[in-house]
Amino acid sequence: MPDHPTRTRRDDSPEESRRSRLSRTFDEDAELYDRARPGYPPRLYDDLAELAGTVPGSRVLEVGCGTGQVTVPLAGRGCRITAVEAGARMAAVARRNLTEYPAADVVTTRFEDWPLPDEPYDAVVSATAFHWIDPAVRVPKAADALCPAGALAVVRTQHVNGGTEDFFAEVQGCYERFDPSTPPGLRPPASADVDSRDHAREVAGSGRFGPTLFRRYEQDLAYTTSEYLDVLRTYSGHRALPEAARNGLLECIAGLIDGRYGGRVTKRYLVELGVSRRR
Protein backbone atom coordinates (compact mmCIF):
# COMPACT_ATOMS: atom_id res chain seq x y z
CA MET A 1 0.00 0.00 0.00
CA PRO A 2 1.33 3.48 -0.84
CA ASP A 3 1.71 4.69 2.77
CA HIS A 4 3.69 1.61 3.86
CA PRO A 5 7.17 1.23 2.38
CA THR A 6 7.83 -1.38 -0.28
CA ARG A 7 10.82 -2.50 -2.27
CA THR A 8 9.53 -1.08 -5.53
CA ARG A 9 7.37 1.95 -4.70
CA ARG A 10 7.98 5.08 -2.68
CA ASP A 11 5.53 6.08 0.03
CA ASP A 12 4.54 9.04 -2.15
CA SER A 13 3.94 7.19 -5.41
CA PRO A 14 0.25 6.25 -5.47
CA GLU A 15 -1.02 4.06 -8.24
CA GLU A 16 -2.51 6.39 -10.85
CA SER A 17 -5.79 4.45 -10.90
CA ARG A 18 -6.24 5.14 -7.16
CA ARG A 19 -4.66 8.60 -6.89
CA SER A 20 -7.82 10.69 -7.05
CA ARG A 21 -9.81 8.49 -4.68
CA LEU A 22 -7.04 8.15 -2.12
CA SER A 23 -6.37 11.89 -2.15
CA ARG A 24 -9.88 12.54 -0.85
CA THR A 25 -9.47 10.43 2.28
CA PHE A 26 -7.42 13.03 4.16
CA ASP A 27 -10.36 15.42 4.44
CA GLU A 28 -12.47 12.84 6.27
CA ASP A 29 -10.86 13.70 9.63
CA ALA A 30 -8.95 16.95 9.34
CA GLU A 31 -8.69 17.40 13.10
CA LEU A 32 -6.94 14.05 13.48
CA TYR A 33 -4.60 14.92 10.61
CA ASP A 34 -3.73 18.23 12.25
CA ARG A 35 -3.07 16.59 15.60
CA ALA A 36 -1.21 13.48 14.45
CA ARG A 37 0.88 14.41 11.42
CA PRO A 38 4.45 15.44 12.32
CA GLY A 39 6.01 18.72 11.36
CA TYR A 40 9.25 19.16 9.45
CA PRO A 41 12.85 19.68 10.62
CA PRO A 42 13.74 23.32 11.35
CA ARG A 43 16.71 23.11 8.92
CA LEU A 44 14.22 22.60 6.10
CA TYR A 45 12.97 26.16 6.46
CA ASP A 46 16.51 27.57 6.47
CA ASP A 47 17.20 25.68 3.24
CA LEU A 48 13.91 26.83 1.71
CA ALA A 49 14.96 30.40 2.36
CA GLU A 50 18.43 29.81 0.90
CA LEU A 51 17.47 27.74 -2.14
CA ALA A 52 13.90 28.83 -2.93
CA GLY A 53 13.86 32.41 -1.68
CA THR A 54 11.13 31.99 0.94
CA VAL A 55 12.32 35.09 2.79
CA PRO A 56 10.30 37.81 4.51
CA GLY A 57 8.02 39.55 2.01
CA SER A 58 8.31 36.87 -0.69
CA ARG A 59 5.15 35.73 -2.48
CA VAL A 60 4.69 32.00 -1.96
CA LEU A 61 2.11 29.71 -3.53
CA GLU A 62 1.61 26.53 -1.53
CA VAL A 63 0.07 23.55 -3.30
CA GLY A 64 -1.88 21.24 -0.98
CA CYS A 65 -1.37 22.96 2.36
CA GLY A 66 -3.28 20.38 4.41
CA THR A 67 -3.89 21.88 7.83
CA GLY A 68 -0.87 24.18 7.60
CA GLN A 69 2.11 22.10 8.73
CA VAL A 70 4.41 24.09 6.42
CA THR A 71 2.19 27.13 5.93
CA VAL A 72 2.35 28.27 9.55
CA PRO A 73 6.19 28.21 9.82
CA LEU A 74 6.54 30.00 6.46
CA ALA A 75 4.00 32.63 7.50
CA GLY A 76 5.88 33.01 10.78
CA ARG A 77 9.00 33.82 8.74
CA GLY A 78 7.20 36.67 6.99
CA CYS A 79 6.20 35.06 3.69
CA ARG A 80 3.04 36.23 1.94
CA ILE A 81 1.26 32.99 1.19
CA THR A 82 -1.56 31.80 -1.01
CA ALA A 83 -2.31 28.22 0.06
CA VAL A 84 -4.47 26.06 -2.20
CA GLU A 85 -6.16 23.08 -0.53
CA ALA A 86 -8.77 20.80 -2.11
CA GLY A 87 -10.26 19.52 1.17
CA ALA A 88 -12.81 21.86 2.73
CA ARG A 89 -12.26 20.53 6.26
CA MET A 90 -8.49 20.65 5.91
CA ALA A 91 -8.68 24.21 4.59
CA ALA A 92 -10.89 25.27 7.51
CA VAL A 93 -8.35 23.96 10.03
CA ALA A 94 -5.52 25.65 8.13
CA ARG A 95 -7.36 28.99 8.30
CA ARG A 96 -7.80 28.54 12.04
CA ASN A 97 -4.10 27.77 12.46
CA LEU A 98 -3.20 30.88 10.43
CA THR A 99 -5.44 33.31 12.28
CA GLU A 100 -2.54 35.46 13.46
CA TYR A 101 -1.06 35.72 9.95
CA PRO A 102 -3.24 38.00 7.80
CA ALA A 103 -0.77 37.73 4.90
CA ALA A 104 -1.67 34.04 4.50
CA ASP A 105 -4.74 33.23 2.42
CA VAL A 106 -6.20 29.71 2.12
CA VAL A 107 -8.18 28.94 -1.05
CA THR A 108 -10.43 25.87 -1.09
CA THR A 109 -10.14 24.26 -4.51
CA ARG A 110 -8.14 21.72 -6.46
CA PHE A 111 -4.86 23.15 -7.73
CA GLU A 112 -5.76 21.79 -11.16
CA ASP A 113 -8.92 23.95 -11.22
CA TRP A 114 -7.59 27.12 -9.58
CA PRO A 115 -7.15 30.09 -11.97
CA LEU A 116 -3.69 31.59 -11.61
CA PRO A 117 -3.61 35.26 -10.61
CA ASP A 118 -1.96 37.86 -12.83
CA GLU A 119 0.89 38.52 -10.40
CA PRO A 120 3.44 35.66 -10.38
CA TYR A 121 4.96 34.09 -7.29
CA ASP A 122 8.54 33.97 -6.10
CA ALA A 123 8.20 30.33 -5.03
CA VAL A 124 5.80 27.42 -5.35
CA VAL A 125 6.03 25.08 -2.36
CA SER A 126 4.36 21.70 -1.93
CA ALA A 127 4.98 19.52 1.13
CA THR A 128 3.96 15.85 1.04
CA ALA A 129 1.23 16.78 -1.42
CA PHE A 130 2.66 17.21 -4.92
CA HIS A 131 2.14 13.52 -5.75
CA TRP A 132 -1.62 13.93 -5.30
CA ILE A 133 -1.81 16.52 -8.10
CA ASP A 134 -2.53 15.42 -11.67
CA PRO A 135 0.91 14.58 -13.17
CA ALA A 136 -0.07 16.26 -16.44
CA VAL A 137 -0.75 19.54 -14.64
CA ARG A 138 1.46 19.92 -11.59
CA VAL A 139 4.86 20.89 -13.04
CA PRO A 140 3.66 23.00 -16.01
CA LYS A 141 1.16 24.91 -13.87
CA ALA A 142 3.77 25.49 -11.16
CA ALA A 143 6.04 26.96 -13.84
CA ASP A 144 3.20 29.18 -15.08
CA ALA A 145 2.67 30.47 -11.53
CA LEU A 146 6.29 31.55 -11.08
CA CYS A 147 8.14 34.71 -11.94
CA PRO A 148 11.31 34.33 -14.05
CA ALA A 149 13.91 32.38 -12.03
CA GLY A 150 11.26 31.60 -9.40
CA ALA A 151 11.63 28.32 -7.52
CA LEU A 152 9.57 25.14 -7.34
CA ALA A 153 10.22 23.49 -3.95
CA VAL A 154 8.81 20.01 -3.38
CA VAL A 155 9.08 18.28 -0.01
CA ARG A 156 8.73 14.50 0.11
CA THR A 157 8.75 12.09 3.05
CA GLN A 158 9.63 8.41 3.28
CA HIS A 159 9.63 5.93 6.16
CA VAL A 160 13.15 4.50 6.25
CA ASN A 161 15.08 1.91 8.18
CA GLY A 162 15.89 2.97 11.72
CA GLY A 163 14.12 3.66 14.96
CA THR A 164 12.58 0.55 16.52
CA GLU A 165 13.77 -1.73 13.73
CA ASP A 166 12.56 -5.03 15.22
CA PHE A 167 9.02 -3.69 15.50
CA PHE A 168 8.88 -2.72 11.84
CA ALA A 169 10.04 -6.21 10.91
CA GLU A 170 7.49 -7.90 13.16
CA VAL A 171 4.58 -5.64 12.20
CA GLN A 172 4.83 -7.04 8.69
CA GLY A 173 2.83 -10.00 9.94
CA CYS A 174 -0.09 -7.73 10.83
CA TYR A 175 -0.10 -6.18 7.37
CA GLU A 176 0.12 -9.53 5.60
CA ARG A 177 -2.79 -10.82 7.70
CA PHE A 178 -5.18 -7.91 7.19
CA ASP A 179 -4.12 -6.37 3.88
CA PRO A 180 -3.77 -8.98 1.14
CA SER A 181 -2.09 -6.46 -1.18
CA THR A 182 0.94 -6.26 1.12
CA PRO A 183 4.04 -7.76 -0.53
CA PRO A 184 5.72 -10.45 1.57
CA GLY A 185 8.96 -9.54 3.27
CA LEU A 186 8.21 -5.82 3.30
CA ARG A 187 10.85 -3.70 5.06
CA PRO A 188 11.60 0.04 5.25
CA PRO A 189 14.41 0.94 2.84
CA ALA A 190 17.73 2.38 3.93
CA SER A 191 17.88 6.14 3.47
CA ALA A 192 20.69 5.77 0.94
CA ASP A 193 18.48 3.51 -1.19
CA VAL A 194 15.62 6.00 -1.54
CA ASP A 195 15.69 7.27 -5.11
CA SER A 196 14.70 10.87 -5.88
CA ARG A 197 15.46 10.77 -9.59
CA ASP A 198 11.81 10.33 -10.57
CA HIS A 199 11.05 13.88 -9.42
CA ALA A 200 14.17 15.32 -11.03
CA ARG A 201 13.30 13.60 -14.32
CA GLU A 202 9.71 14.85 -14.23
CA VAL A 203 10.77 18.44 -13.62
CA ALA A 204 13.53 18.32 -16.25
CA GLY A 205 11.18 16.71 -18.75
CA SER A 206 8.90 19.74 -18.66
CA GLY A 207 11.65 21.88 -20.21
CA ARG A 208 10.59 24.70 -17.88
CA PHE A 209 13.16 24.32 -15.11
CA GLY A 210 16.86 23.98 -14.55
CA PRO A 211 18.49 21.16 -12.53
CA THR A 212 16.92 20.11 -9.23
CA LEU A 213 18.98 20.58 -6.07
CA PHE A 214 18.27 18.21 -3.19
CA ARG A 215 18.68 18.42 0.57
CA ARG A 216 17.90 15.51 2.89
CA TYR A 217 17.08 15.30 6.59
CA GLU A 218 16.39 12.37 8.90
CA GLN A 219 14.29 12.58 12.03
CA ASP A 220 13.37 9.94 14.60
CA LEU A 221 9.98 10.45 16.21
CA ALA A 222 8.83 8.46 19.25
CA TYR A 223 5.18 7.45 19.58
CA THR A 224 3.05 5.88 22.27
CA THR A 225 0.71 3.17 21.05
CA SER A 226 -2.25 5.53 20.71
CA GLU A 227 -0.13 8.21 19.02
CA TYR A 228 1.20 5.74 16.47
CA LEU A 229 -2.28 4.43 15.68
CA ASP A 230 -3.45 8.01 15.16
CA VAL A 231 -0.67 8.55 12.61
CA LEU A 232 -1.67 5.38 10.77
CA ARG A 233 -5.30 6.54 10.71
CA THR A 234 -4.22 9.58 8.68
CA TYR A 235 -2.62 7.46 5.91
CA SER A 236 -4.69 7.13 2.78
CA GLY A 237 -3.86 3.45 2.25
CA HIS A 238 -4.98 2.56 5.77
CA ARG A 239 -8.13 4.66 5.52
CA ALA A 240 -9.06 2.99 2.23
CA LEU A 241 -9.07 -0.51 3.76
CA PRO A 242 -12.47 -2.07 4.53
CA GLU A 243 -13.49 -1.16 8.08
CA ALA A 244 -13.15 -4.68 9.47
CA ALA A 245 -9.69 -5.12 7.97
CA ARG A 246 -8.57 -1.67 9.14
CA ASN A 247 -9.78 -2.29 12.69
CA GLY A 248 -8.14 -5.71 12.77
CA LEU A 249 -4.88 -4.26 11.49
CA LEU A 250 -4.81 -1.49 14.09
CA GLU A 251 -5.68 -3.92 16.89
CA CYS A 252 -2.88 -6.23 15.78
CA ILE A 253 -0.39 -3.34 15.71
CA ALA A 254 -1.52 -2.08 19.12
CA GLY A 255 -1.14 -5.53 20.62
CA LEU A 256 2.38 -5.79 19.24
CA ILE A 257 3.49 -2.40 20.55
CA ASP A 258 1.94 -2.91 23.98
CA GLY A 259 2.94 -6.55 24.32
CA ARG A 260 6.52 -6.50 23.05
CA TYR A 261 7.69 -2.88 22.96
CA GLY A 262 6.46 -1.40 26.20
CA GLY A 263 3.84 0.79 24.58
CA ARG A 264 6.29 2.94 22.65
CA VAL A 265 8.04 2.81 19.26
CA THR A 266 10.26 5.14 17.25
CA LYS A 267 9.84 5.73 13.54
CA ARG A 268 12.55 7.19 11.30
CA TYR A 269 11.51 9.58 8.55
CA LEU A 270 13.55 10.76 5.60
CA VAL A 271 12.49 14.24 4.52
CA GLU A 272 13.68 15.37 1.08
CA LEU A 273 13.63 18.88 -0.34
CA GLY A 274 13.98 19.31 -4.09
CA VAL A 275 14.31 22.85 -5.47
CA SER A 276 14.22 23.71 -9.19
CA ARG A 277 14.55 27.20 -10.69
CA ARG A 278 12.28 28.26 -13.53
CA ARG A 279 14.08 28.94 -16.77
What are 28-59's pLDDT values in tens digits?
Answer: 889 999 999 999 999 999 999 999 999 999 99
What is the pLDDT of the chain when averaged over all its residues? 92
Report the pLDDT value the prediction gives residue 210, as an integer from 0 to 100: 97
Report the pLDDT value the prediction gives residue 22, as an integer from 0 to 100: 60
Residue 6 has pLDDT above 50, yes or no: no
Report the pLDDT value the prediction gives residue 18, as an integer from 0 to 100: 60
Return the HEC string of the chain.
CCCCCCCCCCCCCCCHHHHHHHHCHHHHHHHHHHHHCCCCCHHHHHHHHHHHCCCCCCEEEEECCCCCCCHHHHHHCCCEEEEEECCHHHHHHHHHHCCCCCCEEEEECCCCCCCCCCCCEEEEEEECCHHHCCCCCHHHHHHHHEEEEEEEEEEEEEEECCCCHHHHHHCHHHHHHHCCCCCCCCCCCCHHHCCCHHHHHHHHHCCCEEEEEEEEEEEEEEEEHHHHHHHHHCCHHHHCCCHHHHHHHHHHHHHHHHHHCCCEEEEEEEEEEEEEEEC
Report the pLDDT value the prediction gives residue 9, as an integer from 0 to 100: 56
Name the band, by pLDDT with cuts 50, 70 and 90, for residue 5: very low
What are 233-279's pLDDT values in tens digits?
Answer: 999 889 889 999 999 999 999 999 999 999 999 999 999 999 999 99
Residue 224 has pLDDT above 90, yes or no: yes
CATH class of 14-160+189-219+270-278: alpha beta
Q: What is the mean pLDDT of residues 208-237?
A: 96
Report the pLDDT value the prediction gives residue 41, as an integer from 0 to 100: 96
pTM of the shown model: 0.91
